[in-house]
């Protein structure tokens, strides 16, 4: 394996670090309203009351906690918990918060924070991001010096596209983690800020934060986090249309991750898709084919099969395109693929257009447009509209573009990705 060559110059300036406050409210009318919106019935009411009680307890001075709750509050809350049939994970956490009502001066803060985090994880698993964010923030209010919890809040806020709130929490986690020497969270927080700026379309800002993440990870031998930051920098350079630097960063991320790192799967897919957009279909196909055995999830398989259909079309491989087309359509009835269905259909449309299968191309492009409109995916909708316009005029969209200045580097990376994926599967 090649020695990593990507190095970031060390900063020579000194910073004074102060833990900044974070935004805790979005556009909700009152705190916790989103919990009632997401979780219906008695269970939602119990969660909302538990959230409010945890925040009240956390924000009260220790000497005042004994008088916060009525003597019968714990037994009344437990009756409500049992009546709402919460399930094992949720019942355990809600029981802890009920015990807090009866033992407000004796229950440890770490125990309350852990219960809030458990509820947040349950809500995240159920797709209830507002509830997850609310309880993560409650956990951070209970233990305000915990950098890991602050980072988790930032990630949830970013996933909800609450970018201003997310930025404040990532900056807070940077400062908190630096204070205690938690260099993994410190580096990951800069990755979070980099991804946030990518989502905002601020490529210079994303690059700046990601370089700081690389620097922190390299300084502390955090190879996986280094790979994550380099991987995201690759995405920044792709968006900036700087293929030479993108190629270098893809190689650097591959080396940083190392063999048998599961994050190599996402890197392989992202790099292969970039090669497809560059018209380097033959380079992408073996990488995508090697990926398929590692992807049991229907949504992941749909994306890779869509990429394969697009690449096969670009190569003029009708049999390969037909196989990928059929594989995609076998997955479309699965509810788990809805999030990626529009992009998958768009790739099928590109592949069909490359083979002058105009009817198939139009059908796929229209489906991509309909799904993208339903899911309010603006970028996919614009791409689908552009593809439809090209199909109406029988114009092929996927064409060969400029290669990086050292094309053999891309070939070597493709071979290494295939070798790594094959050896892991074996």
Q: Tell which wins on pLDDT, 69 or 12.
A: 69
pLDDT at 2: 47
pLDDT tens, position by position, 250-282: 999 999 999 889 999 999 999 999 999 999 999
Tell me the residue ranges of DSSP E strands in 77-168: none
pLDDT at 5: 55
- In sequence order, the 6+-apart residues with CB closer than 8 A to the CB of 295 are 265, 301, 304
Q: What is the mean pLDDT of residues 344-372?
A: 95
264, part of any domain: no
Total number of domains in the chain: 3
Highest mean pLDDT among 183-187, 259-263, 378-382: 183-187
pLDDT tens, position by position, 269-322: 999 999 999 999 999 999 999 999 999 999 999 999 999 999 999 999 999 999
d(Cα 138, Cα 116) in Å, to the nearest integer?
7
315 shares a domain with 201: no
358 shares a domain with 216: no
pLDDT at 26: 65
pLDDT at 379: 84
pLDDT level of residue 30 (50, 70, 90 thresholds) = low
40, part of any domain: yes
pLDDT tens, position by position, 324-349: 999 999 998 887 788 889 999 999 99
Q: What is the mean pLDDT of residues 353-381?
A: 92
Q: What is the mean pLDDT of residues 142-160?
A: 95
Residue 187 belongs to domain with CATH number = 1.25.40.10
Range of the domain at 57: 21-143
Q: Round the average pLDDT of the chain to a whole number and report it.
A: 91
Q: Are 124 and 89 in contact (CB under 8 A)?
A: no
177, part of any domain: yes
15, part of any domain: no
Q: Is residue 1 over pLDDT 90?
A: no
Percent of the chain past pLDDT 70, that is, above it, reads: 92
418 shares a domain with 277: yes
How far apart, in Å, are the Cα atoms of 135 and each of 120, 209, 376, 419?
5, 28, 28, 43
pLDDT at 3: 45
pLDDT tens, position by position, 58-77: 999 999 999 999 999 999 99
Residue 407 belongs to domain with CATH number = 1.25.40
- Left, alpha or beta for 258 (phi > 0: left; psi -120 to 50: alpha)? left
Q: Tell which wins on pLDDT, 334 or 88.
A: 88
pLDDT level of residue 29 (50, 70, 90 thresholds) = low
pLDDT tens, position by position, 14-26: 455 577 777 887 6
14, part of any domain: no
Q: Which two tokens stand for residue 215?
A: 């620097």
Q: Tell which wins on pLDDT, 31 or 87.
A: 87
pLDDT at 397: 76
Of 233, 258, 283, which marks where a domain is finished?
258
Q: What is the mean pLDDT of residues 74-88?
A: 95
Percent of the chain past pLDDT 90, that is, above it, reads: 80
334, part of any domain: yes
SS3 labels along the chain: CCCCCCCCCCCCCCCCCCCCCCCCCCCCCCCCHHHHHHCCHHHHHHHHHHHHHHHHHHHCCHHHHHHCCCCCHHHHHHHHHHHCCCCHHHHHHHHHHHHHHHCCCCCCHHHHHHHHHHHHHHHHHCCCHHHHHHHHHHHHHHCCCCHHHHHHHHHHHHHCCCHHHHHHHHHHHHHHHHHHCCHHHHHHHHHHHHHHHHHHCCHHHHHHHHHHHHHHHHHCCCHHHHHHHHHHHHHHHHHCCCHHHHHHHHHHHHHHHCCCCCHHHHHHHHHHHHHHHCCCHHHHHHHHHHHHHHCCCHHHHHHHHHHHHHHHHHHCCHHHHHHHHHHHHHHCCCHHHHHHHHHHHHHHHHHHHHCCCHHHHHHHHHHHHHHHHHCCCHHHHHHHHHHHHHHHCCCCCCCCCCCCCCHHHHHHHHHHHHHHHHHHHC
Of 336, 325, 340, 348, the C-alpha closest to 371 is: 340
Quick count: other Cβ atoms within 10 Å of Cβ 185?
23
pLDDT at 120: 97
pLDDT at 400: 58
138 shares a domain with 45: yes
Q: What is the mean pLDDT of residues 402-426?
A: 78
342 shares a domain with 314: yes
pLDDT at 108: 97
């Amino acid at each position: 394996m090649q020695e990593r060559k990507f190095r970031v110059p060390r900063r020579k300036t000194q910073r004074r670090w102060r833990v900044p406050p974070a935004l805790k409210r979005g556009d909700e009318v009152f705190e916790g309203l989103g919990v009632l919106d997401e979780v219906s019935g008695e269970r939602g009411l119990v969660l909302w009351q538990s959230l409010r009680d945890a925040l009240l307890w956390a924000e009260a001075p220790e000497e005042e906690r004994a008088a916060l709750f009525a003597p019968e509050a714990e037994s009344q809350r437990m009756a409500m918990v049992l009546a709402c049939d919460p399930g094992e994970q949720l019942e355990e956490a809600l029981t802890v918060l009920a015990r807090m009502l009866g033992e407000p001066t004796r229950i440890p803060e770490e125990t309350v924070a852990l219960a809030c985090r458990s509820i947040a994880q349950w809500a995240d698993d159920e797709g209830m991001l507002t509830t997850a964010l609310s309880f993560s923030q409650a956990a951070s209010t209970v233990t305000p010096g915990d950098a890991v919890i602050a980072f988790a809040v930032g990630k949830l806020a970013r996933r909800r596209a609450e970018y201003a709130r997310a930025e404040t929490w990532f900056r807070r986690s940077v400062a908190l983690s630096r204070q205690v020497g938690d260099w993994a969270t410190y580096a990951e927080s800069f990755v979070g800020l980099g991804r946030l700026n990518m989502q905002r379309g601020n490529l210079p800002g994303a690059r700046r934060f990601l370089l700081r993440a690389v620097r922190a990870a390299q300084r502390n031998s955090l190879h996986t986090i280094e790979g994550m930051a380099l991987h995201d920098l690759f995405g920044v350079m792709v968006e900036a249309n700087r293929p030479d630097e993108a190629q270098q960063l893809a190689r650097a991320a591959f080396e940083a991750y190392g063999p048998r790192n599961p994050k190599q799967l996402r890197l392989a897919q992202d790099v292969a898709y970039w090669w497809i957009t560059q018209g380097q279909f033959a380079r992408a196909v073996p990488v995508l084919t090697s990926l398929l055995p590692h992807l049991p999830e229907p949504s992941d398989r749909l994306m890779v099969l869509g990429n394969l259909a697009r690449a096969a079309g670009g190569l003029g491989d009708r049999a390969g395109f037909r196989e990928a087309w059929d594989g995609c359509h076998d997955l479309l009835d699965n509810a788990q693929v809805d999030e990626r269905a529009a992009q998958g259909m768009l790739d099928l449309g590109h592949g069909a257009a490359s083979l002058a299968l105009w009817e198939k191309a139009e059908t796929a492009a229209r489906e991509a447009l309909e799904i993208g409109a339903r899911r309010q995916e603006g970028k996919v909708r614009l791409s689908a509209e552009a593809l439809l316009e090209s199909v109406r005029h029988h114009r092929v969209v996927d064409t060969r573009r400029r290669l990086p200045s050292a094309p053999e580097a891309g070939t070597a990376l493709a071979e290494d990705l295939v070798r790594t994926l094959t050896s892991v599967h074996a």
